[in-house]
Structure 1
Amino acid sequence: MGFRAIDYIQRKAAGMYALCDNWANTLRDEVKINAKWKDRTSHARQAIHSDVEPGNNEYTIYVSHGVQYGGYLEEGTPPHIIRPKNKKALYWKGAAHPVRQVNHPGTKGFKTIENTMLANKERIKNTIIDYWSD
């Protein structure tokens, strides 16, 4: 009887990884679909990735950006000054004249990953409870 219980728990633990991996992929796909930013190259959307990290009878599901500026898309930016790096002034098509700096007002974050995780929290919890309840 004792060996069957240990075997049962080991099989459930292995299935738990598969369950979490399935959720990680589902969340990743949902984040890609729900991302509200305007794609220019699609690199940010394509680079969103997910995984599961098991350890000490715990499983961590994560979804994250794979581009350097992913944090800005998620959290936004504070007001900041933009200055030229290699020239004396900044100029862009449509500008009246070159300028030494631009006072950028900052951007609001899209919080796509955060909102997706929060929206699915109860479903994930219920799926795990159901899995261990049988």
Structure 2
Amino acid sequence: MARAMRMDPSARGHLDAAVSEWLGDLGNRILTDARRLAPVDTSRLRDSLRAEVSGKVLRVGSLDCNYALYVEMGTGPHVITPRNKKALYWPGARHPVAKVNHPGTPAQPYLRPALLQRRTP
């Protein structure tokens, strides 16, 4: 005959709190590694990195640096055209141009290596 088992009603809350604490600690460790691995030009990318726990979900990344994905993944060759003007010009250019054939940029992974770092408990 099977016996009924009862669980302390507060156990779920304790378990959720322990999981959130563990995720917070893990997130801070991943964040530290991502900041260490992030390429630095102006430090905007590195300074934008955050870790947050919401329920049982951990997010680590940049919330407000619009080029974070392009640094992590790189870009393929692409054409740059003006948005609001008829031509592109930058200091040092010989003359304005209608478009620029950009060769792309290599990936500089910082988040994936930080995430995949082997960690001991």
Using the size of structure 2 for normalisation, the TM-score is 0.77
Cα distance change, pair 83–9 in 1 and its aligned pair in 2 (3 A)? closer
2:81 pairs with 61, 80, 83, which one? Answer: 83
Structure 1: which amino acid aligns with 2:48? A
Structure 2: runs of 5+ lacking an equivalent: none
Structure 1 residue ranges (4+ consecutive) displaced by more than 6 angstroms after TM superposition: none
Structure 1: runs of 5+ lacking an equivalent: 128-134
Q: What secondary structure sits across from 1:91 in the alignment?
A: coil
- Residue 46 (structure 2) aligns with: 45
Structure 2 Cα separation of the partners of residues 8 and 82 of structure 1: 57
Structure 2: which amino acid aligns with 1:84? P
Whichever structure has more helix as a proportion of its residues is 1
Total equivalences in the alignment:
115
Structure 2 Cα separation of the partners of residues 92 and 102 of structure 1: 12
The percentage of counterpart residues that share the same residue type is 32
Structure 2 Cα separation of the partners of residues 24 and 53 of structure 1: 12
CA deviations on 1:84-124 (whole Å, 9 max, x unpaired) are 2232222222222222110001112212111111123xx2x
Structure 2 Cα separation of the partners of residues 77 and 47 of structure 1: 20
1:21 pairs with 24, 30, 34, which one? Answer: 24
Q: Please state how far the C-alpha of 1:10 moved relative to its aligned partner.
A: 5.2
Structure 1 Cα separation of the partners of residues 104 and 75 of structure 2: 5
- Residue 131 (structure 1) aligns with: none
Q: Please state how far the C-alpha of 1:35 moved relative to its aligned partner.
A: 0.5
Using the size of structure 1 for normalisation, the TM-score is 0.71
Q: Please state how far the C-alpha of 1:53 moved relative to its aligned partner.
A: 3.5
Structure 1: which amino acid aligns with 2:66? Q
